[in-house]
A and B are shown apart, each in its own frame.
Chain A
Amino acid sequence: MLESQSITKKFGSKTAVDQVTMRFETGHVYAMLGPNGSGKTTWMKMAAGLIKPTSGTVLFDGSPVGIESRKHIAYMSTEPYFYAWMTVKDVGKYYEDFFEDFSYERYTGLLKKMELTEEMKTTSLSSGMMAKLKIAVTMARDAMVYMLDEPFNGIDLLARDEIRACILEYASETKVLLLSSHLVEEMEAIADKAVFLKNGHLVDQVDLEEMRREKGISMADRYREIYGHEEAQA
């Protein structure tokens, strides 16, 4: 469904993603894990077609990502990106104008769950409310791939439960859900597969159930194995 082949992205002398090859299949929820600067966001932006890779390709259904893939990939950036003049309603109308798979009805339903109203100005939203709005507008699409970059950032515990429920509600056998986060415990409750990135490299790609069964370790344990030394040094 979605794969990267030897993809590399350099920003000047810094290599953000280095020769990463990985594949994401339908019917799974993937956790993309790694500390800051590991390359998660850069990889997602390349898959969303926002950043051009230095070398390598990202393929969606066998074709390089581009205009066609954007019809089927719903990407949620970690940073706020709505126009300053927009209200919550304007954001929904904008998505409705450009994405055929967007349902305004579903959007208003999600807004209600998230306790947001259509009249709210995007510039007046708190960081938590903004995170909820981004989730609502992204999940109101009936996309084939959802890529959510740090969906739990700036969100309190109760709102996290709502978001987790919302994400799982739209997970299905025909979709790929890819979420990046620092909150490993949160991801453990959602994901069934995980990829670990470190300094722009793919370190591991695992099936969480298989890992628990065969090695008796959780995602958090594997995270500690990979990054523990690094974080202890930090």
Chain B
Amino acid sequence: MIKLMKYELRKTLFVKLIVLAAAALAEIVFLIGVLGDRERMTGTGIVLLTMLAMGGIMVIGLASVVTLHRDVSTKQSYMLFMTPNSSYSILGAKMLENGLSILLAGACFFALGALDITLLFAHEKRLDALWNTIRSFLEQFNEQITLDLPTMLSLAANLICSWISTTAAMYLGVVIANALLKGKRFSGFVSFLVIVALLWLIGYVQVETLDASVSIRTAYWADTGVALGFSVVMYFLAAQIMERKLSV
């Protein structure tokens, strides 16, 4: 499994390096802005880092889905499927590597964000104004959000795990298209519908199983649990289909 994960990382390394380089560039812009008291550059850096934190994680997940698609639909599939590894190991390695990459990227962006905010507070004299700006930005997502560490952690975990479950749904869609619908008309469209239906189901379960009176933090952790639970179910389903039906 570790060896499979090593090669999964190698296959998606280029995309990850691009995300890393872009984040480094945005951080430099931010630091020049803060340390040189250039408000416009500070603002640009914050916007870029925020976009990268969200977009970067999405790109890492999508790169993994594209790699899976290549690994089951092109001749490079032989590299995986002629080795003595089961579909469970092959897909498991992909999901674990991708999940860990998303978690690591999320943790890095979270830590970077915390560091940058601290740095900003240390240099910024108008603390109240800045604090209000950040708060109003977060309130766009949910008005119950407060800027304390436990809430921020629950929000980060929720965002990261939601994206992991989205990626798992896309994995299942790719496997269905290539194992069950291969050569059939509209296979791409049907698998897209499957992905949309799965994402709707996850959202539905998250909303329906939650008591409206719980705190925002509890709600985030519950959503995180539902997303991870669905990810595991979708992984087993996709691996089972691969093991029984996939011809490469």
Chain A residues near B (Cβ < 8 Å):
11-12, 45, 48-52, 67-68, 70-71, 75, 77, 79-85, 94, 97-99
Contact = CB atoms under 8 A, between A and B. Distances in A.
Contact of B248 (A50, A82, A85, A98): A50
Contacts of A97: 3, 6-7
Nearest to A70: B84
Given A11-B183, A81-B77, 9 more contacts: A12-B183, A50-B248, A70-B83, A70-B84, A80-B75, A82-B76, A83-B11, A94-B79, A97-B3
Interface of B: 3, 6-7, 10-11, 14, 75-79, 81-86, 183, 244-248
B40 to A, nearest CB: 40
A230 to B, nearest CB: 27
Contact of B83 (A11, A52, A77, A99): A99
Contacts of A48: 82
Contacts of A85: 10-11, 14
A70 to B, nearest CB: 4
B85 A98 contact: yes
B76 A98 contact: no
Given A67-B86, A71-B84, A98-B3, A82 B247 contact: no
Contact of A75 (B82, B84, B245): B82
Contacts of B81: 49-50
Contact of B78 (A11, A50, A52): A50
Given A67-B86, A68-B84, A98-B85, A77 B3 contact: no
B83 A51 contact: no
Contact of A94 (B7, B75, B85, B183): B7
B29 to A, nearest CB: 31
Contacts of A50: 77-78, 81-82, 247-248
Nearest to A11: B183
A159 to B, nearest CB: 22
A198 B75 CA distance: 25
Nearest to A54: B247
A11 B247 CA distance: 11
A75 B79 CA distance: 11
B83 A98 contact: yes
Contacts of B3: 97-98
Contacts of B248: 50-51
Contacts of A75: 78, 82
Contact of B246 (A45, A52, A98): A52
A183 to B, nearest CB: 22
A70 B83 CA distance: 6
A58 to B, nearest CB: 13
Given A12-B183, A67-B85, A98-B3, A83 B79 contact: yes
B68 to A, nearest CB: 14
B83 A81 contact: no
Given A67-B84, A98-B84, A52 B244 contact: yes
Given A70-B84, A85-B10, A99-B83, A51 B183 contact: no
A52 B179 CA distance: 10
A44 to B, nearest CB: 11
A79 B76 CA distance: 10
A123 to B, nearest CB: 12
A75 B77 CA distance: 13
Contact of A82 (B10, B11, B79, B183): B79
A94 B79 CA distance: 9
Nearest to B3: A97
A48 B7 CA distance: 22
Given A81-B78, A85-B10, A98-B3, A52 B245 contact: yes
Contacts of B75: 77, 79-81
A128 B245 CA distance: 34
Contacts of B11: 83, 85
